[in-house]
Amino acid sequence: MNITYCKDFQEMSSFSASLVKDELEKKPRLLLCAATGASPDGLYQELAIKAKEKPEIFKLLRIIKLDEWGGIPEMHPVSCEYFLQKKLLMPLHISPDRYISFHSDPDDPKEECLRISTRLKREGPIDICILGLGANGHLALNEPGPQLQAKAHVASLSEKSLQHAMIASMENLPGYGLTLGMEEILSSRKIIMLVSGPGKKEIAGKFLEGKVSNDLPASHLWQHPNVECLVEQSLLN
């Protein structure tokens, strides 16, 4: 794992956007796995700026959604779908045929996960996976526990995940999560891990120890051969 300590959120966002741009120039049709939330927000803003300057860079880019809150309307303002459409898909002009997405309220959540896994197997692997560090060490919605699931699956949401800023204000919280599995994430050719945000100091410290445990799913990134981990300096103070 290559760790870079960034002086602030802006530096982290600019650096991660440069990493994505560099890979896109090598492989224009790469498959980008996109996380949601505060950590990658700045990265997506930087990519949107680059798309205005050089839209041709993104004309073949494909995107797959990392995870989704289950049991809420597709374009609810707190959904991952709404976030990605607003922050990434529309600014980069990603057409529907270049986007793989969990539906947030499917009739059969397990079948929905199978659909995503099947499509990823056909069109993958992921070239770049953008990740953030969960407040309890979760990776996507792979929660801490005795066993971690390899493929896309329906996730039971921990109390910590239900306190996530995206959904904390909802009257009726999501009943489950839909997420790519650990094997699918760790099969990515390159991973960009963004460690940022208030309340993350303790879990960031544990993650940076490098001890691999299912109690901290993100720690499995230490076993991956190509991870760029960007850490906001304020978490170390």
pLDDT digits (tens, 9 = 90+) for 91-115: 999 999 999 999 999 999 999 999 9
pLDDT band at 135 (very low <50, low <70, confident <90, very high): confident
**Statement: residue 162 has pLDDT above 60:** no
pLDDT score for 210? 94
Q: What percent of the chain has pLDDT over 70?
A: 94
Cα–Cα separations (whole angstroms), residue 222 to 142, 145, 155, 164, 219:
16, 18, 23, 25, 6
Rounded mean pLDDT, 144-168: 81
Helix (H, G, I), strand (E, B) or coil at 229: strand
Query: Is the entire prediction scored with pTM above 0.85?
Result: yes
Give φ, ψ of 140 to 5 degrees. 55, -130
User: Parallel, antiparallel, or unpaired: how do β-strands 176-179 and 67-70 relate?
Assistant: antiparallel
Using CA atoms, how far apart are residues 20 and 22, in angstroms rounded to an integer? 5
Domains and CATH numbers, the chain: 2-236 (3.40.50.1360)
Active site residues: 67, 136, 138, 143
Q: What is the pLDDT of residues 37-57, one digit of tens each?
A: 999 999 999 999 999 999 999
pLDDT at position 4 is 96
Mind listing the pLDDT tens digit for each residue in 8-17?
A: 999 999 999 9
Contact of 105 with 1, CB cutoff 8 Å: no
